[in-house]
Amino acid sequence: MLPHGQPADEDHGGAVLSRGAPIPAWAPLSPAAAYTASTASTKIVDLAALEAAQRRKTAAWLDAERPSARQHELRLMDQARVDAEYREAEHAKAEQAEAARLAAERARAAEEQRLEAASRAAAEEAERLERKRRREERIEAHRLEAEKREAEQREAERLEAERIELERLQAQIDELERADKPSHEQ
């Protein structure tokens, strides 16, 4: 493991770090060989020096990895920006599609209302024309009835005038005949 808690063989911006060759599995040493190996080394290890060397090694590793880590961070930021732009474009496209759908729905509803209003207007116009036609028929029937009554009245008046004229003429004839009768008798 590295100081920051990541395994050493992870990809750090293109650079692959390795933990080294795998540790071979050895059979356990015999007790005599183990004693010999433990007493053969007389070298004393300074813990502070080991820690300082480890810190220097880690600092050098961090200095070496910093540019690639920065490049990796920039790539991630660019990718995040591209992803955000893509999501924003998709969101805008979805909003446009929804706005277009709503506009089409409103247009369809308006067209339905217009057709319904036109249908109502046509029905009202047909009803108005039918009422007008019936009224004109009634007026025409009344006019014809009035003309018929007037014609009958004129005919009755003509017949009455003829009757009166005939009676007058008959009265004149009767008077003339009466006037002629006494003169024949004389």
Place of tokens 């600092």: 59
Residue 110 belongs to some domain of the structure: yes
pLDDT tens readout for residues 108-163: 999 999 999 999 999 999 999 999 999 999 999 999 999 999 999 999 999 999 89
> Is the pLDDT assigned to residue 47 strictly greater than 60?
yes
Measured at the CA of 81, the angle between CA 79 and CA 86, to 5 degrees, comes to 95
CA separation for the pair 165, 159 (Å, rounded) = 9
Q: Report how far Cα 124 is from the mean position of its chain's Cα atoms.
A: 33
Residue 175 belongs to some domain of the structure: no
The secondary element (H helix, E strand) that includes residue 11 is strand 11-12
* pTM across the whole model: 0.36
pLDDT tens readout for residues 104-116: 999 999 999 999 9
Contact in structure between 12 and 64 (CB atoms under 8 Å) = no
Count of structural domains, the chain: 1
Residue 107 belongs to some domain of the structure: yes
Domain span at 111: 51-143
Q: Which residues pair with 12 in a beta bridge?
A: 15
Residue 67 belongs to some domain of the structure: yes
> Is the pLDDT assigned to residue 71 strictly greater than 80?
yes
Place of tokens 């992803």: 83
Place of tokens 């183990």: 34
Residue 172 belongs to some domain of the structure: no
Residue 62 belongs to some domain of the structure: yes
Q: Which pair of structure tokens corresponds to residue 50? A: 């080991």
Contact in structure between 29 and 37 (CB atoms under 8 Å) = yes
Q: Which pair of structure tokens corresponds to residue 56? A: 């220097």
CA separation for the pair 17, 12 (Å, rounded) = 8
